[in-house]
Amino acid sequence: DGGITQSPKYLFRKEGQNVTLSCEQNLNHDAMYWYRQDPGQGLRLIYYSQIVNDFQKGDIAEGYSVSREKKESFPLTVTSAQKNPTAFYLCASRPQGTNSPLHFGNGTRLTVT
């Protein structure tokens, strides 16, 4: 079955450490997205990529980095520069340049202490 896989589901880190969240899709979608979800704030866009080896900052990119070396993969690194990293992170994808709906993974809940 096609879909988006995010791993792990729960992730715990100490403050000051970088951590990388995985996102893999086998839907052959060109565009991929990372969102952060916090209670009462909805979804906020961190980074997105329309094509391999290219990506753009979203609304809250500070303290995050991404790479897009393969079409199927769009990992997100939460760096120590991110002031409030504890959140639920959602990865999504869709065909490039269309109004097709986003397909979402099941998310990774990151807790930094």
Partner 1 sequence: GNSVTQMEGPVTLSEEAFLTINCTYTATGYPSLFWYVQYPGEGLQLLLKATKADDKGSNKGFEATYRKETTSFHLEKGSVQVSDSAVYFCALSWTGANSKLTFGKGITLSVRP
CB nearer to partner 1: pick between 55 and 82: 55
Residue with token string 């979203």: 58
CB 110 within 8 A of CB 85: yes
DSSP states along 21-39? EEEEE-S--SEEEEEEEET
Binding site for partner 1 (CB under 8 A): 4, 6, 33, 35, 40-43, 45, 48, 50, 56, 58, 90, 92, 96-99, 101-102, 104-107
CA distance 48 to 14: 26
CA distance 48 to 22: 14
CB nearer to partner 1: pick between 92 and 112: 92
CB nearer to partner 1: pick between 106 and 111: 106
Least distance CB 48 / partner 1 (angstroms): 6
Least distance CB 43 / partner 1 (angstroms): 4
Structure tokens at 107: 């998310």
Least distance CB 111 / partner 1 (angstroms): 14
CB nearer to partner 1: pick between 37 and 65: 37
